[in-house]
Amino acid sequence: MGVLLQTAQELPGGYGLVLLQTLFALAGVCVLAWVVLRWGARRGLGMGALGGRVRVLERIALDPRRSLYIVKVGERVLLLGAGDGGSPSLLTEIDPDTLPPEAAPKPPGEAFREVLGRLTGRAKPPAE
């Protein structure tokens, strides 16, 4: 019994060492998760069916619980309504020729930049 107590007393330790080991383990898990997610994203994993037959063209939120979706299935374009835990409902089929061309997506943060420009008085004139 004396040998066991002597060994435990010789080991460096305390809560600081345990905390440091825990932080290193957490950092290692985070790095490993980041590497695996980057590797998977480059191979198209988790991105849904890229190039598949079903594609969501647009989504608009009507309120926090209801949304409208324009979905392309093969050559058909459908307007779907979804909300409140019910399954999505087919509202109508849209003729693909009547849809306006897709606008180029705005770069993220553009709206914030415009608001900040207005607040500071450095707003750019609209480029239209």
The model's pLDDT over 13-44, given as tens digits with 9 standing for 90+, comes to: 688 889 999 999 999 999 999 999 888 877 76
Give the span between the Cα atoms of 90 and 79, in whole angstroms: 6
67 SS3 class: strand
Question: How many CB atoms neighbour CB 62 within 10 A?
Answer: 11
Answering whether pTM is above 0.75, one says no
Domain residue ranges of the chain, discontinuous segments joined by +? 2-42, 54-98
91 SS3 class: strand
Splitting the chain (128 residues) into consecutive groups of 10 residues, what average pLDDT does each group show?
52 80 96 91 65 83 90 91 87 88 67 78 62
Phi, psi at residue 2, to the nearest 5°?
-65, -35
